[in-house]
Chains A and B, each alone.
Chain A
Amino acid sequence: MGCGCGDCETMMQPYLDGMLSDEEVSEAKEHLERCPPCEERFRFEEHLRHFVRVATDEPMPDELRDRLAGLRSTPTA
């Protein structure tokens, strides 16, 4: 999988993290348009990141919320 070009692998992550310059972003976009394997991989990484975020989410217990509020210097109104 992939087009075998090392640049893609090094640029994929910063691209997904929104860390590339405008110029690099257009370069990356251009490449993805021309390279279906990279495009596919890019979409996979995007979905995976979202999946990791959702799968690991655990809501804060209300009881902890109360405990934190109790740490305030002034009682809540």
Chain B
Amino acid sequence: MTEGTPTAAETRRIAEVARDRVRFEEEALELSDQVFRVARRLVSSREEAEDLVQDTYGRAFRAWQQYQPGTNLRAWLLRILTNLNIDRGRKAQRSPDIQPLEEGDYFLYNQLASTMPDDNPDEEKVIERLSQNAVVEALAEVPHDFRDVVVLVDIGEFAYAEAAQILDIPVGTVMSRLHRGRRLLKKNLAEKAVV
């Protein structure tokens, strides 16, 4: 065996790997807008989100061979991102389960609709009583554990099973946190609604 002179088969193999790698990087970069959109709402500042996305791509590009082609690349990237986010020292928050949300799912709607002169207001008009800032703030105030799920499903448009995989929690937990998280979001929104 002579070193430095690879066989034709080896050369072909090396070229194939290089091509796969380029393809992987291109596909990953095409998803960067979507990855950023989710990252932006998982953390509180834009700078933090940018750093997190950059670190995610750095790690993804190094570990690209661990990605199984044909599986959901966006979920794979978000899995790296949420892990990095936790590694960065984000402490697990205690669930605010002690605080009851007796108002139920109808709370925001009732709150918004009750302050309108019309007895039977149009849904869109009701929602117009919320400002963009109110939504951003209301979401930021939802505790991490619940917000992660709301962000992945409502903003990232991931299915329950994908969100479960990304966060490494059971699907049932995704559903219960989602339910709770959305209620908390609506409760926060109701408090910020323009009256």
Contact = CB atoms under 8 A, between A and B. Distances in A.
Interface of A: 1-2, 9, 12-14, 17, 19, 40-41, 43-44, 46-49, 51-53, 55-61, 64-65, 67-69, 71-74
Interface residues of B, number: 45
Contacts of B99: none
B124 interface: yes
The B interface, classified by DSSP as helix, strand, loop or mixed, is helix
A61 B50 contact: yes
A44 B130 contact: no
A68 B127 contact: no
A71 B136 contact: no
Contacts of A69: 29
Given A13-B178, A69-B29, A72-B61, A52 B22 contact: no
Interface in B7-39: 18, 21-22, 25, 29, 32-33, 36-37
Contacts, number: 95
Contacts of B41: 56
Contact of A13 (B46, B53, B124, B179): B179
B36 A60 contact: yes
A56 B155 contact: yes
A4 to B, nearest CB: 10
A60 B33 contact: yes
16 contacts: A13-B178, A14-B175, A17-B160, A44-B123, A51-B130, A52-B154, A55-B132, A57-B155, A58-B40, A58-B46, A64-B50, A67-B54, A68-B53, A68-B54, A72-B29, A72-B61
